[in-house]
Homo-oligomer: A and B are copies of this chain.
C-alpha cells in the first residue's frame, strides 16, 4: 500500500475530502440534541446515585432503570447502533461520518452506552456481525444489538508480551466436542459489569502452526464454570468500577466446539477486522481530551498572574499553547483521513493509516495534558481539575490496542515495502 507521497501526490485523492456527508448531518444534529436533552440530565443523577454504593462492583437500585429509560428513547428515535459502518444492521454510517459523531459521544461518559455505541461491545458486535454464524448472531449479537447484555474482549495476558500475537498462551484444546480453555487474561475491560454476559477470548489452538494461524477467537459466557474473575486491574490506582478492567483466570473452562469464531486458526485474521470504529472513536475522544486540556490551560494561564504578567504569557507558555493548537489541528485532519481511508480503501488497506493515528494521537495528547498540568501548578495534579485523570487515561491508551511501538513498526515496515515496490517497478 502506498500511503501517498508528494512524488505521487494524487490531486484528486478522494481521501482528501474530509467533510461529513450531507446525509449524515441530520443524524449528527439529532445526536447532539439527544445528548444535551436526555443523556446529560440523566447522567448527573446516575453518578450521584452511584457515589455512595457499598459494593463498588455493582449498581445501586434505580441506576440501571434510568439508563434503560434513556436507551429506550434512543432506540425509538433511531439513535441506535450507528457505529456499525456500512452495515445492514446499523445506520450505514461511513467511518468518516461516525468520527464526527464520536467526537460528540466523547463528551459525556454515558453517551456511547445510551446509544448502544460503547466499547468493547462495538468491536464485539462488529466481529459477530461480520463473521458470526446465524446461531452465534441469534444468541449473542441480537441481545447486544438490543442493548440487553454487555460483553468483554479478553485478549491481553499478564504473562507475555501480547503485542506479538504468537505470544498468546491461553490454550484451547478440543476434547469430546468441547473446547477446554486454560490460561489467564487481564485488562478485560467491561468484564466487571454485572450485565456482562459474554466474552470473546483470544486463545492459542495450534502452538506449532504458522505464526499467524496459531490463534483462534472463541465465545465464552462469563458464567461458565472455571471462569474466575480474580481482581480489577488498576490504571494509575483507579479501577474504573463497575465497568472494570478485569484479571480473569480460565481453569478447564469448557465451551461447545461451535463457539469458535470464523474457524480454527483465524483469530489473528479477526483481529485485523476489529479495527473499525474502535480506534477512530478512541482517537477522536483523545483529541477531545486534548482540546479540553488546552482550554483549561489557557483559562488558567489567563486567570493567574506572576511576575507581572498572566502565566499564559510568561516564558515559553505561549509557545506551548501554540504547539498544542498545531498538534490538535494536525491530529484532527489525520484521524478524519484515517476514517476516510477505511471508507475508501477498506479496513485492511487502511491499517497503516490507523496505525499512524494510533501512534500519533495519544502520545501527543499526553504532552498537551502534561503542559496543562504544569500551567496549573499543584492544582493540576489535584482532584480540582480533570487533568490528572485525563492524563492517566491517555497515557494508558499508549499501551492499549497495541503499544505505540507496534504501530510504529507497522508504519515503518510499510515504508520499507513502499520503497521496495518502487524499485521493483523501476527495474
| Chain A residues near B (Cβ < 8 Å) | 3-7, 9, 11-14, 16-20, 24-25, 28, 100, 103, 156, 158, 160-164, 167, 186-187, 233-238, 284, 287-288, 291, 294-295, 298-299, 301-302, 304-307, 311-319, 321-326, 328-334, 336-337, 356, 359-360, 370, 373-374, 377-384, 388-389, 391-392, 395-396, 398-400, 403-405, 407-416, 418-420
Interface CB pairs A-B, < 8 A, 13: A6-B288, A17-B19, A156-B377, A158-B384, A313-B416, A318-B408, A322-B410, A325-B411, A329-B356, A330-B331, A333-B334, A374-B404, A374-B405
Contact A100 B11 (CB under 8 A): yes
Interface core residue of A235, A236, A360 (most chain B CB under 10 Å): A236
Contact A295 B187 (CB under 8 A): no
Contact B412 A399 (CB under 8 A): no
Contact A330 B334 (CB under 8 A): yes
Q: How far is the CB of A242 from chain B (nearest CB, A)?
A: 18
Contact B158 A379 (CB under 8 A): yes
Q: Which residue of B16, B291, B318, B360 is within 8 Å of A412 (Cβ)?
A: B318
Closest to A8 in B: B291
Contact B359 A374 (CB under 8 A): no
- With contacts A12-B25, A187-B378 taken as known, whether A305 is within 8 angstroms of B237 at the C-beta atoms is no
Q: How far is the CB of A379 from chain B (nearest CB, A)?
A: 7
Q: Which residue of B330, B336, B378, B416 is within 8 Å of A16 (Cβ)?
A: B336
Q: How far is the CA of A415 from the CA of B320 in the complex (A)?
A: 11
- Please give, as numbers and ranges, the residues of chain B lying within 8 Å of A337 by CB-CB distance: 329, 333
Contact B420 A161 (CB under 8 A): no
Which 10 pairs, one residue from A and one from B, show the smallest C-beta to C-beta distance?
A: A316-B316, A318-B412, A11-B20, A164-B306, A322-B411, A322-B408, A333-B333, A322-B412, A330-B330, A16-B18
Contact B318 A413 (CB under 8 A): yes
